[in-house]
Amino acid sequence: EPEVTQTPSHQVTQMGQEVILRCVPISNHLYFYWYRQILGQKVEFLVSFYNNEISEKSEIFDDQFSVERPDGSNFTLKIRSTKLEDSAMYFCASSVGRPPGELFFGEGSRLTVL
């Protein structure tokens, strides 16, 4: 069964360092998303991406964040200069069509900023 895969599963970094989280969406999907969950809090929307551009982003998704689909298979989330409050589980998701079509989520990448 096709699935969304994310790497790394866990990354520890120092405050101020750049981090790239990688995702391989399901191959025929056209819409891509990043969500995050800070420990003990709700899963929050970060950004959606379609046709090689951001279609929607939340207030959380400031200039420190960027997304890219560099090669037609990977979908990356970059945090330019990490802060302590960026520590969270980051989930990648993809869908064939716009919501309410089903989103398929990856297992998540846990980011710990020290």
Partner 1 sequence: AQSVTQLDSQVPVFEEAPVELRCNYSSSVSVYLFWYVQYPNQGLQLLLKYLSGSTLVKGINGFEAEFNKSQTSFHLRKPSVHISDTAEYFCAVISLKGAQKLVFGQGTRLTINP
Residues at the interface with partner 1 (CB under 8 A): 3-4, 31, 33, 35, 41-45, 48, 55-56, 58, 91, 93, 98-100, 102-108
Query: Nearer to partner 1 by C-beta: 87 or 90?
Result: 90
CA-angle at 81, arms to 78 and 83, nearest 5°: 110
To the nearest whole angstrom, how small is the minimum distance from the Cβ of residue 17 to partner 1?
A: 26
Query: Nearer to partner 1 by C-beta: 13 or 44?
Result: 44
To the nearest whole angstrom, how small is the minimum distance from the Cβ of residue 31 to partner 1?
A: 8
To the nearest whole angstrom, how small is the minimum distance from the Cβ of residue 73 to partner 1?
A: 18
Query: Nearer to partner 1 by C-beta: 87 or 104?
Result: 104
**Rounded distance between C-alpha atoms, residue 100 and residue 44, angstroms:** 17
**Rounded distance between C-alpha atoms, residue 93 and residue 27, angstroms:** 12
**Rounded distance between C-alpha atoms, residue 60 and residue 58, angstroms:** 5
**Rounded distance between C-alpha atoms, residue 77 and residue 23, angstroms:** 8
Residue position matching structure tokens 């990356």: 76
To the nearest whole angstrom, how small is the minimum distance from the Cβ of residue 43 to partner 1?
A: 4
